[in-house]
Chains A and B, each alone.
Chain A
């Protein structure tokens, strides 16, 4: 019986044909689908929208897009949420290639770069034309999106970086909470000095082995150390961003204060890596720790709830007063967008209180996934009802104390300044390998040679 056989020749012919077909297909340019002009008219305008985030963010954006589309028939929002690192690679490359989504989120550093590269459209005229409906005065941190008096973005979310404190540990130690101190006496009660006094009572050696197993404060990492420097009256740069001020007397006094916190064991030395030991805020062995008012609130979710009561407070006041770190992820309209009008309409909706309240009425709590975009958000039930366990007026205080606005220095390579050069020298000082003055001088020398030169 003859069975069909694939001969070597026929196999090679088939393989060759398939390879050629694949190559041709790969090289082919996509073409527009044929259709009548009526069909083309009926096609919705698709607005690309990208933000960094996770699958929850994707669901959030899809829901908001649905609400927008209901009110704007004929416009479709194609939302995409990408993880932080992917986002920060993809979007700049898309901008460079002229294929950026119509609208996208720009965190402060990306905002600065997008503006410098001409990737973000100037929205000033559109915003002026949309007043008073847009109520721009209600926007949080407008400065993050302003360049030379023009506006290049509307907020997707704004956050402050505050201190979270474990109410149970304060009660156990018989201490007033930072929130009580703040509201009762402001800077007179919640300041650098009271922070040290309280902190000394909250660092404890629980097992008696001579080493603390519970610390008062997690440490001055990332954004907190700049806020503390500013609370001491110092700063990274002068206003024109032409001079490093880290080694100014005010800044050095701030560094000395940070060092005293380590020397008094109020915060662990960075080299101890106590987080890896399970000594952190979530385990209840850290009385206070940094936290953003956008992300930390997720600990109120039933499935992420911490096993103790906690709240927010702004960083203690120093000689420079209260200073909070705060920043905004701006929604910008790409200069390469073919539909800037519809893209602008979307970001206006995305920054509106309506979006929050319509979403909340539909069962979605933006308060858990996004920070507020407007001052009026703090009075909205969409914010107060989900976060009612927290001191909402204190959260609002954080925004009030975010000064200057914008908080990120508009230098070249702002993240290199903050999270590499400055952070390394702070670390050197806290480890005891440099004095505050040496660390400050070295930071300025590097900033001068690497950034300002």
Chain B
């Protein structure tokens, strides 16, 4: 009782508050230290490196903004940026497909758990294994896609061997990972109060109207989340290009991160690679900021 009174008048409350705060920080200290050393420290370090010319081996030479100036004049920088922005086309496609799948798997049908597992499994399959699998699927002569196209009288393209088709092939392949966003949609769909649908049904709303005016607004925060995750993921795409195309043919799949990797770990231009990394960081930051800014017009938060 005495403690309660003292808590109410605030004298001991301060002590307890600070103690609990300290305890809280103690518990999260491994993460804070990890973040400070391995993330924030590395970030600042990479910015420092970006102002130097450094081949990993040997001395660093201060070049100031030289790497950033060189970057603007580098045709492969612009090419890789163009290729990466083109790949962003996969984002709306996967947003729609993920939602459609989630809607299908939100029905009460037999074997629902099996379907959900099957659609989600590709998302947890190792990227290298998936890339090798799709190499076969896209094989121009014996790949399943071209074999099926041949059955209906269409000669399939050279896919990964073609400058024109390599990028569409990788965009098609990105559908493989749609299970991740599907799962998030599914959770959001199941969180929509059924009362809203019941009320709309009583009012005579059609399925389409219920979808447009209840489902979409209610899951719009999740749409935003998937959009941001998709955009960031697309800017960071690497494995597919590294395993399947090595940036070719004729630089048609020279993704930004692949180009960055080449400079850092194949050609040992660590300063230039760090500059590339910082530009990517800024590009992702700007894109995310723009998306969040625009989201105010179309994302509905219940609270």
List residues of chain A with CB under 8 Å of any chain B CB: 12, 15-16, 19, 23, 85, 88-89, 92-93, 95-96, 113-114, 116-119, 211, 269-273, 276-277, 413, 415-416, 420, 424, 427-428, 431, 433, 449-450
- Distance of A100 from chain B, by nearest CB (Å): 9
Number of A-B pairs, beta carbon distance below 8 Å: 90
Q: Which residues of B are found within 8 Å of A89, using beta-carbon distances?
A: 265
- Distance of B257 from chain A, by nearest CB (Å): 16
Known contacts A85-B265, A116-B58, A271-B249, then 18 further A-B pairs from the complex at CB < 8 Å, ordered by chain A residue: A16-B26, A19-B30, A92-B268, A95-B57, A95-B58, A270-B249, A271-B140, A271-B158, A271-B161, A272-B158, A277-B139, A277-B141, A413-B269, A416-B266, A420-B247, A427-B249, A431-B249, A433-B250
- Distance of A246 from chain B, by nearest CB (Å): 16
Q: Is the CB of A420 within 8 A of B262?
A: yes
Q: In B126-154, which residues have CB < 8 Å from any A CB?
A: 135-136, 139-142
Q: Which residues of B are found within 8 Å of A19, using beta-carbon distances?
A: 26, 29-30
Q: Which residues of B are found within 8 Å of A211, using beta-carbon distances?
A: 141
Looking at chain A's contact residues, is the secondary structure mostly helix, strand, loop, or mixed?
A: helix
Q: Is the CB of A427 within 8 A of B248?
A: yes
Q: Is the CB of A92 within 8 A of B56?
A: yes
Q: Is the CB of A428 within 8 A of B56?
A: no
List residues of chain B with CB under 8 Å of any chain A CB: 23, 26-27, 29-30, 33, 54-59, 75-76, 135-136, 139-142, 158, 160-163, 247-251, 262, 265-269
Q: Is the CB of A23 within 8 A of B26?
A: no
Q: Is the CB of A113 within 8 A of B26?
A: no
Cα separation A93 to B265 with both chains bound (whole Å): 11
The 8 Å CB contact of B57, one of A12, A92, A270, A427, is A92
Q: Which residues of B are found within 8 Å of A92, using beta-carbon distances?
A: 55-57, 268
Q: Which residues of A are found within 8 Å of B55, using beta-carbon distances?
A: 92, 113, 116-117
Cα separation A389 to B54 with both chains bound (whole Å): 48
- Distance of B164 from chain A, by nearest CB (Å): 10
- Distance of B167 from chain A, by nearest CB (Å): 15
Q: Which residues of B are found within 8 Å of A269, using beta-carbon distances?
A: 161
Q: Is the CB of B58 within 8 A of A415?
A: no
Complex A-B: 8 CB contacts under 8 Å: A96-B57, A117-B55, A117-B58, A270-B161, A270-B249, A413-B267, A413-B269, A427-B248
Enumerate the 3 nearest inter-chain pairs by beta-carbon distance, A residue then B residue, closest first. Answer: A271-B161, A117-B58, A117-B57
- Distance of A417 from chain B, by nearest CB (Å): 10
A95, closest chain B residue (CB): B57
Q: Is the CB of B58 within 8 A of A118?
A: yes
Cα separation A89 to B273 with both chains bound (whole Å): 14
The 8 Å CB contact of A424, one of B141, B250, B268, is B250
Cα separation A271 to B213 with both chains bound (whole Å): 48
Q: Which residues of A are found within 8 Å of B250, using beta-carbon distances?
A: 424, 427-428, 433
Q: Answer whether A15 and B163 are a contact pair too, CB < 8 Å, given A271-B158, A276-B135, A420-B262.
A: no
Cα separation A89 to B142 with both chains bound (whole Å): 37
- Distance of A18 from chain B, by nearest CB (Å): 11
- Distance of B34 from chain A, by nearest CB (Å): 12
Cα separation A19 to B160 with both chains bound (whole Å): 52
Q: Which residues of B are found within 8 Å of A424, using beta-carbon distances?
A: 248-251
Q: Answer whether A117 and B59 are a contact pair too, CB < 8 Å, given A23-B33, A276-B135, A277-B139.
A: yes
Q: Which residues of B are found within 8 Å of A88, using beta-carbon distances?
A: 265
- Distance of B16 from chain A, by nearest CB (Å): 13
A119, closest chain B residue (CB): B57
The residue in A93, A420, A427, A449 that gathers the most chain B C-beta atoms within 10 A of its C-beta is A420
Q: Is the CB of A273 within 8 A of B56?
A: no
Q: Which residues of A are found within 8 Å of B33, using beta-carbon distances?
A: 23
Q: Is the CB of A415 within 8 A of B267?
A: yes
Cα separation A151 to B25 with both chains bound (whole Å): 57
B159, closest chain A residue (CB): A271
Cα separation A92 to B161 with both chains bound (whole Å): 34
Q: Which residues of B are found within 8 Å of A271, using beta-carbon distances?
A: 140, 158, 160-162, 249
- Distance of A205 from chain B, by nearest CB (Å): 12
The residue in A271, A449, A450 that gathers the most chain B C-beta atoms within 10 A of its C-beta is A271
B54, closest chain A residue (CB): A96
Cα separation A55 to B251 with both chains bound (whole Å): 36
Q: Is the CB of B57 within 8 A of A15?
A: no
Q: Which residues of A are found within 8 Å of B76, using beta-carbon distances?
A: 450
Q: Answer whether A272 and B140 are a contact pair too, CB < 8 Å, given A427-B248, A428-B250, A431-B161.
A: yes
B164, closest chain A residue (CB): A433
Q: Is the CB of B57 within 8 A of A114?
A: yes
